[in-house]
Amino acid sequence: MTPLPRDTDTALTAATGGAGTEGVATHCPYCALQCAQTLTPNPGLDGDNGVAVEGRAFPTNRGGLCQKGWTSAEVLAAPDRLTTPLVRTADGDLVPVGWDEALDLVAIQLRRIRDEDGADAVAVFGGGGLTNEKAYQLGKFARIALGTANIDYNGRFCMSSAAAAANQTLGIDRGLPFPLTDLSGADAVLLLGSNLAETMPPSVAHLADVRGRGGLVVVDPRRSATADLAADGQGLHLQPVPGTDLVVLMALQHILLTEGLADLDYLEARTTGLEEIRRRSALWWPERAEQVCGVPAGVLRDAARLLAAASPARGGRGAFVLTGRGVEQSRQGTATVSAAINLALLLGLPGRVGSGYGAVTGQGNGQGGREHGQKCDQLPGYRMINDPDARAHVAAVWGVPESSLPGKGQPAVELLASLGTPGGPRALLVHGSNLLVSAPNAQQVAERLAALDLLVVCDFVPSETAMLADVILPVTQWAEEEGTMTSLEGRVIRRRKAIDPPSGVRSELWVWSQLAARLGSKGTWDTEPTLVFDELARASRGGRADYSGLSHARLDTEEALYWPCPATGAGGGVAPHPGTPRLFADSFPTHDGCAHMVAVDHVGPADDLRPDAPLYLVTGRVLQHYQSGAQTRRVATLATAVPGPTAEVHPLLAARLGVVDGERVRLTTSRGSVAVPARITYSIRPDTIFMPFHWSGAASVNRLTTDATDPVSGMPEFKVCAVDITPARRHLARRETHPEPDHVGTETPA
């Protein structure tokens, strides 16, 4: 195994070569940066299932990998890898069975539930890590084989607010509508709510030139590793009160408009809605904004002027406005992203080379996962399910009557809350998601899963959600399968098979074809990823996310084409479409070709401060772990480096509490409590606690987070809620004097 880089900077410059002719060119299984890798089977390696990992030259990662990428092969040989179907007995035990027995049982139960309560009594929950082929086939399986409207996926927790805002304003949702490499040419980058240095370390290399020009502006309540990059004259760090990023953006808009820094020619030619934006932002002069968001008025003015000086209209090299989960996972997430897009439009950025607005997608295929049918309101090609023309087109590709397609289902949080309730779904099929760790208000989710008649989970390791299932089906993981992924830039890239899966493991494509046959489903159910992609391409043709000009064969010779990439006709000397690296050069895909600026207002968190919860709780990630941690917690190097969560506490707050570094503290919200060690640090605001979300059970911060959602996107408000903090020893002393009932408390003993 390639040694772990010691830090982020090393990770950016490590390993630039390939592994030789016997190596397999593919991409990392983790985040949407989709760093290029070469995997080389090597039976002499221990602990990595005989696979060596090297970084591969590619525009996004330039041969580098982060710690997760370097160790990715270790998950292939996880000691508890699932290799046979498991079925829960009447005694509650999970026992191994053959595939036929497991699939027969699932099909019989699904038919019974549908016969008794209708097709919507069965629900499906997908994942942003599934390949495009799997995401497409899962949406098709839900709507044809099951006939249910109830399908959504964990991308609802990731990109839905950015998607909703981009669709409203720009007419299309593609995370970055430009290549990531464009960032290096800019004079300024405004980064809101994204800690790239820990979540996507190789991407930081693209900010080096911007930092050198003093143009990196980071908005984050924490002084994160990314915020540190803006220190020492290399930019600005704005540290707002949690949940007030929208106020920061409104103040920046106010400054641009009142100081004559907006690009009025661009606004006149390419946008609508300016006057309402002007009216709303007039209410947020910097001194008023400071009182709400805590960012000094002078710093707000400095940030606005820095961005304006970088804009093309004022002779700068260009500027970018980027948003991430920190501002999007909010009940006003769509409004906040709309304000970020408005700011970019005021500066005249979208559509100009070297400038723009973008959203930093998180999951490996968060982009492709929502484009091709996992969202409750969408069909392949980013078509809306309530559009008659879209329904007719997709139904024709699937070979079924349009009338047989269900309508819009429930978004993720509503869907999960309805499980096992009167009139709600009685069965759930989970693919590529670990709901018990990743969903908000996780204890309620556990209760809803327990209320189901049937829970079926496809996974390759026994995740926390899988261990609740009635049936567990072992499936392939990234190095064992072919397919495609769509990166944060809209690049469609090839995932290639490097090794055979363990005996007994199957692909989800095979699983769905087997279940479809047992359910008597119409349509074709190919199990070969190449054929599934070809069908996906036909289904997407003419849609916003048009892949019809792509195929596995083409992607094998022209690596990483960008969508939209429509078919240009067969033969006749017509050249294939080259793909679309940059959007909006001439117009926006709206009815009038203009960007439609959406006026918004600040409303604040749903669960705001109160006497019994006087602090803010914010959540996020650490460098060594990914999402629910189901994979990275099984990598010894990563688990040893960060074995569990801590609560970041400012020294002033720690002194008031009488807490020392490493002492266990108890965090309590209206949904539950957890106890974890405190980490005393100046990187957090004195009124804020930070805790990462990669752990389960008593260490799960999502037991505390609110399931309030954005009214437009359905995005849950993970990133801010009200919390109380006390030394855990006080609770233990009280418990020794006044024992609590057995059901009270969720933390392990201190």
Please determine, for residue 33, whether its predicted confidence score (pLDDT) is greater than 50: yes
**pLDDT confidence bin for 1, thresholds 50/70/90:** very low
Question: Cα(625)–Cα(640) distance, rounded to whole angstroms?
Answer: 11
- CA-wise closest residue to 295 among 227, 205, 379: 227
Question: Cα(377)–Cα(727) distance, rounded to whole angstroms?
Answer: 45
CB 195 within 8 A of CB 690: no
Please determine, for residue 572, whether its predicted confidence score (pLDDT) is greater than 60: no
Q: What are phi and psi of 547, to 5 degrees?
A: -105, 10
Please determine, for residue 563, whether its predicted confidence score (pLDDT) is greater than 70: yes
Give tens-digit pLDDT for 508-517.
Answer: 999 999 999 9
What pLDDT score does 573 carry? 62
Question: Cα(485)–Cα(545) distance, rounded to whole angstroms?
Answer: 13
- Side chain identity, residue 138: L
Question: Cα(674)–Cα(686) distance, rounded to whole angstroms?
Answer: 20
For residue 615, the SS3 value is strand
Name the DSSP letter for residue 3: P
Question: Cα(240)–Cα(247) distance, rounded to whole angstroms?
Answer: 9
- CA-wise closest residue to 243 among 331, 118, 135, 124: 331
In order, the DSSP letters of 448-485 are HHHT-SEEEEEESS--TTGGG-SEEEEB--GGG--EEE
The tokens for 615 are 């602090």
Q: What stretches of 640-734 adopt beta strand conformation (E)?
A: 647-649, 664-669, 672-680, 688-692, 721-727
Q: What are phi and psi of 236, to 5 degrees?
A: -135, 145
Please determine, for residue 533, whether its predicted confidence score (pLDDT) is greater than 50: yes
Please determine, for residue 463, whether its predicted confidence score (pLDDT) is greater than 50: yes
Give tens-digit pLDDT for 615-651.
Answer: 999 999 999 998 999 999 999 999 999 999 999 999 9
**Mean pLDDT, rounded, for 129-151:** 97
Question: Cα(194)–Cα(220) distance, rounded to whole angstroms?
Answer: 8
What pLDDT score does 560 carry? 75
What pLDDT score does 349 carry? 98
What pLDDT score does 16 carry? 30
Question: Cα(20)–Cα(40) distance, rounded to whole angstroms?
Answer: 8
**pLDDT confidence bin for 43, thresholds 50/70/90:** low
For residue 689, the SS3 value is strand
In order, the DSSP letters of 272-286 are E-HHHHHHHHTT--H
Q: What's the predicted TM-score (pTM) here?
A: 0.92
Please determine, for residue 748, whether its predicted confidence score (pLDDT) is greater than 50: no
Q: How far is CA 603 from CA 222, 337, 600, 607, 710, in A?
A: 22, 14, 10, 11, 11
Please determine, for residue 231, whether its predicted confidence score (pLDDT) is greater than 70: yes
Question: Cα(30)–Cα(652) distance, rounded to whole angstroms?
Answer: 37
What pLDDT score does 474 carry? 98
- Side chain identity, residue 734: R
* Mean pLDDT, the chain, integer: 92
Q: What are phi and psi of 719, to 5 degrees?
A: -85, -5
**Mean pLDDT, rounded, for 38-44:** 83
Query: Backbone dihedral region of 569: left (phi > 0), alpha (psi from -120 to 50 degrees) or beta?
Result: left
Question: Cα(500)–Cα(101) distance, rounded to whole angstroms?
Answer: 24
**pLDDT confidence bin for 369, thresholds 50/70/90:** confident
Percentage of the chain exceeding pLDDT 90: 87
Of 155 and 577, more confident: 577
Q: How far is CA 263 from CA 141, 163, 274, in A?
A: 48, 25, 11
**pLDDT confidence bin for 571, thresholds 50/70/90:** low
Q: ∠ CA(245), CA(250), CA(255), 5° rounding?
A: 125
Give tens-digit pLDDT for 234-293.
Answer: 999 999 999 999 999 999 999 999 999 999 999 999 999 999 999 999 999 999 999 999
Question: Cα(394)–Cα(406) distance, rounded to whole angstroms?
Answer: 12
Domains of the chain and any CATH numbers: 8-77 (2.20.25.90), 86-157+366-562 (3.40.50.740), 176-359 (3.40.228.10), 615-737 (2.40.40.20)
**pLDDT confidence bin for 18, thresholds 50/70/90:** very low
- CA-wise closest residue to 183 among 153, 204, 158, 160: 204
Residue 589: CB partners within 8 Å, gap ≥ 6? 170, 171, 172, 544
**Mean pLDDT, rounded, for 559-573:** 80
Question: Cα(323)–Cα(359) distance, rounded to whole angstroms?
Answer: 5
Give tens-digit pLDDT for 720-741.
Answer: 999 999 999 875 655 555 554 4
For residue 26, the SS3 value is strand
Give tens-digit pLDDT for 375-397.
Answer: 999 999 999 999 999 999 999 99
Give the residue carrying structure tokens 């489903």. Answer: 521
Question: Cα(390)–Cα(270) distance, rounded to whole angstroms?
Answer: 28
Please determine, for residue 436, whether its predicted confidence score (pLDDT) is greater than 90: yes
For residue 68, the SS3 value is helix
What pLDDT score does 334 carry? 96
